[in-house]
Structure 1
Amino acid sequence: MSKPTSLKDALAKWEDRNKQPATSATDIGLQFQYPPIEKMDPILSSLTECQKLSLSSNMIEKISGISGMKNLKVLSLARNNLKTLNGIEPLAETLEELWVSYNNIEKIKPIEVMKALRVFYVSNNVIKDWAEFMRIALPPNLTEITFLGNILSDNMEPAAFVAEAVRRLPNLKKLDGEPVIR
């Protein structure tokens, strides 16, 4: 098996394709790398102008190296191998959208500190209890989530889950792509 693609190599390919330095780009897509990226590293902190970063469809196991990304508003880490959101905390003041569907996430504790977060896509993970789900209530601006495909929602009738989720999250405006009607 060939060695994984490094972020340095993925960014070099991106720069060649897009004819601009990654350090001044606002939207960077590094999804579907072959071989896949396995590690996030401090090179990401050099992307100070980046507002949207996609690292989806790789094999990343943990969030790291993002402390310098002060302008990041949208982070897509869907379809990776994440088990937790640990490491997301440096983006607490700026990140507005976090897309982490199709991972192996069971614990979402760091979501509690995300002050700017409005959108949280966490469908098709392994969240299994209401205590963990209730962490979603803590970010003050969070109004849209996708949650389908988690153990918690899969073990309930869909209408019962929606009713309970809406009851527990009074600020919720959109759940699993549907407007919330109270």
Structure 2
Amino acid sequence: MKESTSVREAIRQWEEEFGQKAHEAKEVKLIGLYPPIDKTDPSLQTLINCEKLIIGDTLEQLWISYNQIEKLKGINSLKNLKEIH
């Protein structure tokens, strides 16, 4: 049995469920997956129009250099977040 879902697979599942291409979407929800995503990968870079990415409250590290960190909303609710890069 798989221990985790890859971001690529999660995006594919989202596209199937919503009948939309993820790279065109402004909001992508990658939550409620079993097995869950255990780490991100370069597949997130395909979400070029995404303004709202939902990946649950288990996030421990957020690597978003070159983004406008000061504009992040709700970052305080990520109780498991340990590092921002």
TM-score by length of 2: 0.80
Higher Cα Rg: structure 1 or 2? 1
Structure 2 residue 55 is matched with structure 1 residue 79: no
Q: 1:17 to 1:27 in 2, by over 3 A?
A: same
* 1:74 corresponds to: none
Given candidates 66, 71, 90, the residue that maps to 2:66 is 90
Distance 1:38 1:23 in 2: 21
Distance 2:35 2:81 in 1: 20
Q: 1:94 to 1:27 in 2, by over 3 A?
A: farther
* 2:28 corresponds to: 28
**Pairwise mapping of residues 58-77 of structure 1 onto structure 2 (< 5 A)?**
none
* 1:7 corresponds to: 7
Per-residue displacement from partner, 1:74-131 (whole Å, max 9, x unpaired)? Answer: xxxx223x1x54x2223237843253522052x66x5xxxxxxxxxxxxxxxxxxxxx
Distance 2:74 2:65 in 1: 12
TM-score by length of 1: 0.40
Given candidates 71, 77, 80, the residue that maps to 1:103 is 80
Which of the pair has the greater relative contact order for Cα pairs under 8 Å at 6+ separation? 2
Listed as ranges, the gaps of 5+ residues in structure 2 are none
The aligned length equals 84
Structure 2 residue 18 is matched with structure 1 residue 39: no
Q: 1:2 to 1:23 in 2, by over 3 A?
A: same
Distance 2:70 2:51 in 1: 9
Classify the secondary structure of the residue corresponding to 1:28. Answer: strand
**Pairwise mapping of residues 170-181 of structure 1 onto structure 2 (< 5 A)?**
none
* Structure 1 ranges of 4+ moved more than 6 A: none
Classify the secondary structure of the residue corresponding to 2:33. Answer: coil
Distance 1:36 1:88 in 2: 21
Q: What is the root-mean-square deviation in Å for CA atoms of aligned residues?
A: 2.4
* 2:51 corresponds to: 51
